[in-house]
Amino acid sequence: MCLGTPMRIAHVDGLNAVCEGTGAQEAVSLALTGSVAVGSYVLVYLGSAVRVLDADEAGRIADALEAVACAARGERFEHLIQDLVDREPELPPHLRNQDSTNTTDEERAYGTRNH
């Protein structure tokens, strides 16, 4: 499985950049985002910046990825996803069922309906 990771732009040369994140540097293409200023954050997927991020969103994504790694190692991770603890999960708007009549709680939560 491939995941996008947040990285900070350290150097830009046209549509090529050197980005830093998780203790490593990576050459990244800016062809999908256009030129981005040094110090900005981008979401990097397979060597390409696919979206510009603000610092807060980059931090939340980095924390979520670290939480998954901690869970895989059997370590505590709740402190990394504190904004998700103690609330019901929500589907993003584009996955929500527009007609919620006659659907179960599970169907509403997961956007599925058995016929």
Strand residue runs (E) in 1-115:
5-13, 16-21, 24-29, 41-45, 48-53
Tell me: pLDDT of 21 over 70. yes
Q: What is the CA 93 to chain-centroid distance, rounded?
A: 17
pLDDT band for 101, please (50, 70, 90 cuts).
low
Segment 64-84 shows an average pLDDT of 92
Mean pLDDT lowest among 23-32, 57-66, 99-108: 99-108
In whole angstroms, give the CA distance from residue 29 to residue 35. Answer: 10
Given this model, what pLDDT does residue 2 score?
Answer: 78
In whole angstroms, give the CA distance from residue 98 to residue 51. Answer: 28
Torsion angle in degrees (nearest 10) through CA of 32, 34, 54, 64: 20
pTM: 0.72
Given this model, what pLDDT does residue 27 score?
Answer: 97
In whole angstroms, give the CA distance from residue 33 to residue 23. Answer: 23
- Mode of pairing for the β-strands spanning 41-45 and 5-13: antiparallel
In whole angstroms, give the CA distance from residue 30 to residue 42. Answer: 9
Show the domains of the chain with their CATH numbers.
1-96+104-110 (2.30.30.140)
